[in-house]
A and B are shown apart, each in its own frame.
Chain A
Amino acid sequence: MSMRPQGLVGCLALMLSAEAAVGQIGPVVIEGPRPFGYFLGDVIALDIDAPAASGYELQRASLPKLGPVAYWLDLVRLDVDEASAGSVKHWRLHLEYQNFYAALDARTLVIPGFALDFTSAGNRIEAKIPAWSFGVSPLREMRPSAQEPDDLLRPDIAPQPIALHRYERAAGGFGAASAGLLLIVAFDRAWWPFRRRATRPFAAASRQVRADLQDADLQDADLQVANLQVDGGEETYRQALLVLHRSIDLTAGRRVLADDLPGFLAAHPAYRLVEAEFSHFFSASRRAFFGDDASGAIRDLPPTLLIAFCRRLANLERTAK
């Protein structure tokens, strides 16, 4: 609680030391703040101006020491500067005292004076700095009167609520943004719920083949063969074979040719049960695509068998996973 003077309340003391030759040390001036109204813990700043004839130097050992001055008073700061003005040198001391006197009533206290030594070529002059007095007051009333409650220490002001809506809105916004980012990261890393279900190529192929071949109205086996041999039916049949080929490729992760069948079955043992059907399918496909004998392939592997094979594969696929 530093109290620097607003309007300078000057306290002037003039003092000539007994030994001081006239003109060697000018009048010492103490500038202080108001000399009253201090409480426990207040800091009092005093500025002292001691003009000395040039040639006289301040003996720093004579300066007061930082620290306790009395049990109730501490010197907490001391700065010294100097300024020359003609033949006079102004020594300025900036002192800060802190008052620890816990007053029970209003009274006057005194900051004790001290002496400063100036020397010049063996001459020594002592300048006396006078004491400075100030009034202290108690922090609180000592004898409250029940009849005059106004004198009592009043309760603290209730804390005022701070408007938090802005921060709440910002927190909500950032929360939503974080959730959005988390979703993007989850999508990128294929975390739940973006983790795709294990693909089931044979199930998809089974649906597609059934749709392709049943569209052509093919329930009866003989009728199927007859129907497929006209009106682009062979192309439909080839398309169905292709769908199954692609699903086998997808399952294997590479293109599977007829000769690769043993390797495929070794890598996917769940389909060993249908090894014979696989061979049948590959030979029919070979006939349809590379032997240019689609009708022979249809007779060899009629659509009903092909659909049944697909369904079987889809079932095995479900149990294999």
Chain B
Amino acid sequence: MSAELACERDALLEDWRSAAFRLQREIGKAILGQDRAVRLLVIAIFARGHVLLEGDVGAGKTTMLRAFARAIGGAFERIEGMVDLMPSDLIYYTYLGADGRPRVDPGPVLRNEGDLSIFFFNEINRARPQVHSLLLRLMAERSVVALNRAYRFPHLQVFADRNRIEKEETFELPAAARDRFFMEIGIETPKDADIRRALIFDPRFHDVDALVHSVPENMIDYRDLNVVAQAIQSRVRSSEALERYVVALWDAVTEPAAAGIDIPDVDMERLVLGGGSPRGLSYLARAARVRAWLEGRDIIVPEDIRDVFVETMAHRIFLHPVYELRRDAIMRDFCRAVFAKVPAP
């Protein structure tokens, strides 16, 4: 790349960085007490990754995603996961027209085709595995074959959420589907007393539609995001020391006992069944690059990796079934122990 082009790219990226901050700020005004989740979503948007939100009921997952959809612009589609939802329900729907003839129209996925920027799957764990597999293709290839032709969604970003309270009539996401999510972000009820008070009593937060509409529309152009994401990835460099560090982290996650990691009441030899895929690690690097860019750096440092590690990696680490029930607590301790053990640089 010539120096002139690089200079132009850097200037462009600087503008986009301001835009990213503005996006973060505006969403933060509407979604109180979720600064970290908002920041991670911004990282996911600029890394073009699909996001799974998991968390408490009524903590604002859906509102947050709607707010982002409004700020990014483009077509937004949303579907509710249900036990009897079939893949065809996403592709097309049939009805009787005013003239009494049966009609087949494109469903929520196909309706806007290339303009589709955010596809929001609510309560994803209520849908059947057939639906998950359609979603898998949509996420991995950003295309689907239906109604005798291929549809492409170059700007598509899938947001999904699931609540972690209910287990009845739900289908656990298969490992392959979870692995395709760029991040799994946990949304928790805010801890700060002032924020809680505001959320309870401030009428601004009672009308969700009005709240979402308070976010400025089309703050960034979704059609530019792919290019910007690519520019970020090529602009931010990773040194050999950092790459070695990430490999060491991966080793520690895969073989925690060999790395000398110890968690009380956990047999480290048995804990991890699968410790992240190469795709997962590449997502980690992608997220770290975007974080470095947001921090105004053109190099990745270990802090970038650490900041996005739990959200990009934890859902790809598969634990022995004995420990699966205590997953949240063990995973938190495990990630902390890994970073306390692996030397950087």
Task: Give residues in A with beta carbon < 8 Å to B.
Answer: 241-242, 245-246, 249, 254-255, 257-259, 285-286, 289-292
Contact = CB atoms under 8 A, between A and B. Distances in A.
B16 interface: no
A291 B242 CA distance: 9
Given A245-B345, A257-B344, A290 B339 contact: no
24 contacts: A241-B345, A242-B345, A245-B343, A246-B343, A254-B340, A255-B341, A255-B342, A257-B301, A257-B302, A257-B303, A257-B306, A258-B303, A259-B303, A285-B345, A286-B301, A290-B239, A290-B241, A290-B242, A290-B299, A290-B300, A290-B302, A290-B345, A292-B239, A292-B240
A249 B239 contact: no
Contacts of A249: 343
Nearest to A259: B303
Contact of B239 (A241, A254, A289): A289
Interface string B129-154: 00000000000000000000000000
Contacts of B306: 257
Nearest to B295: A259
B240 A258 contact: no
Contacts of A292: 237, 239-240, 299
Contacts of A246: 343
A255 B242 contact: no
Interface of B: 237-242, 299-303, 306, 339-345
A254 B282 CA distance: 26
A290 B301 contact: yes
Nearest to A260: B303
A257 B241 CA distance: 14
Contacts of B299: 286, 290-292
Contacts of A258: 301, 303
A268 to B, nearest CB: 16
A255 B340 contact: yes
Nearest to B242: A290
B278 to A, nearest CB: 22
Contacts of A254: 339-340
A291 B340 contact: no
Contacts of B301: 257-258, 286, 290
Nearest to B237: A292
A285 B340 CA distance: 19
Nearest to A285: B345
Nearest to A252: B340
A292 B239 CA distance: 6
Contacts of B238: 290
A259 B238 CA distance: 18
A181 B300 CA distance: 55
B238 to A, nearest CB: 8
A258 B72 CA distance: 34
Contacts of A241: 345
The 4 A-B pairs with the shortest beta carbon distances in the complex, nearest first, are: A289-B345, A254-B340, A289-B241, A259-B303
Contacts of B345: 241-242, 245, 285, 289-290
Contacts of B303: 257-259
Contacts of A242: 345
A208 to B, nearest CB: 16
Contacts of B239: 289-292
A242 B342 CA distance: 13
